[in-house]
Amino acid sequence: MSDAAIAHEAPEEHPTSTGLNHRKILMWAFLGSECIFFGSLITTYLVYRGKSVVGPYPSEILNIPLTSVSTFVLLMSSLAMVLALAGFERAAGAAGDVERQQQELKKGRFWLLMTAVLGTGFLGFQAYEFIEFVHHGLGLTTNLFGTTFFVLTGFHGTHVGVGVLWLVSLLVLSYFGKVKPLDVELGGLYWHFVDIVWIIIFTLIYLIPH
């Protein structure tokens, strides 16, 4: 499986006009589009800040210490993502040296798993937070704060969920030799984007005083 463990750069990849891979540009362009998507969601949250007619209001309910921890978890997952990609790239670079290749690949897989685990951890925090809010009487339909908060963070959480699914798929596929460093890189681009969006959300929703 040593040879199969690293997919070859497929021969069908013709040279491109820019020398950049199609899928990589696709991912960048898609993330550009996603920026407007989250931009619209975040702007809506800001426009509706302080417009709720009934409570609970954000200052009564937001748990900044807890969310700081979950933010830290997500940030660490980005670090793990970087290490995972490095592992896969080094493994691909060590094509001649089977032992080193296996070693690097193992590292890559480990960090990929860590990224997924940390991502799942973040989702766990989010689920806990949502449940807490509901216990405190803040539901999706309670007021404008509930509406904008749950929809914004919910869509972000969904993105994280899709990312976790993606990472796990990469991990599984890597055992069948179907994962190229580029595949990991694309997943990484997406993952870092989702992470950055969270930093913005965390700053705007949690840290700016109401």
Partner 1 sequence: MATVTGVQTRERVSAGAAIWSWVTTIDHKRIGVLYFVTSLIYFMVGGFEALLIRLQLATPDGQILDTDTYNQLFTMHGTAMVFMVAMPMAAAFFNFLIPLMIGARDVAFPRLNAFSYWTFLGGSLLMHSSFLFGQAPDGGWFGYANLTSKEYTPGLSIDFWGLGLLVLGVASVAAALNFIITIINLRAPGMTLMRMPVFVWMTFVTSFLIIFAFPAITVALIFLEFDRLFGTNFYEVAEGGDPMLWQHLFWVFGHPEVYILVLPGFGIASEILPTFSRKPIFGYSAMVFAAVAIAFLGFSVWAHHMFTTGMGTIADAAFAGSTMLIAIPTGIKMFNWVATCFGGRIRLTVPMLFALGFLTTFLIGGLTGPMLAAVPLDLHFQDTYFVVGHFHYVLFGGLILALMGGVYYWYPKITGRMMSEKIGKWHFWLMFTFMNLTFFPMHFVGVDGMPRRVGTYAAGMGWDFWNMLISISAFGIALSVLVFLHNLVVSYKKGKPAGNDPWDARTLEWAIPSPPPEHNFDEIPHITHRDQVWYDKYGDGHGSAAELRKTDADADEQADEEHDVHMPNPSYWPLVVSAGLTIAAAGLMIHIAVAVFGVLWTVGAVYAWSLEPASTPSEEH
Stretch that binds partner 1, among 33-41, 89-97, 115-123, 184-192 (CB under 8 A): 33-41
The site that binds partner 1 (CB under 8 A) totals a number of residues, namely 38
* Closest separation in Å from C-beta 17 to partner 1: 4
Per CB under 8 A, the list member of 1, 12, 96, 135 interacting with partner 1 is: 12
Q: Is 110 in the site for partner 1 (CB under 8 A)?
A: no
Closer residue to partner 1 (CB): 23 or 90: 23
Q: With contacts defined by CB under 8 A, name the span among 35-43, 63-71, 72-80, 195-203 that binds partner 1.
A: 35-43
Q: Is 200 in the site for partner 1 (CB under 8 A)?
A: no
State yes or no: residue 61 binds partner 1 (CB under 8 A). Answer: no
16 makes contact with partner 1 (CB under 8 A): yes
Rounded to the nearest angstrom, the gap between the alpha carbon of residue 85 and the centroid of all alpha carbons in its chain is 14
By CB under 8 A, which span of 38-46, 66-74, 88-96, 121-129 interacts with partner 1?
38-46
Residue-wise DSSP of 63-117: -HHHHHHHHHHHHHHHHHHHHHHHHHHHHHHTTT-HHHHHHHHHHHHHHHHHHHH
Stretch binding partner 1 (CB under 8 A), from 36-44, 84-92, 126-134, 188-196: 36-44
8 Å CB contact between 173 and 179: yes
Distance CA 165, CA 128 (A): 20
125 or 133, CB closer to partner 1? 133
Nearer to partner 1, 12 or 99 (CB): 12
Measured distance CA(35)–CA(24) in Å, rounded: 17
Task: Return residues touching partner 1 (CB under 8 A).
Answer: 10-12, 16-18, 20, 22, 25-26, 29-30, 32-34, 36-37, 39-41, 44, 47-48, 51-53, 140-141, 143-144, 146-148, 151, 155, 165, 169, 178
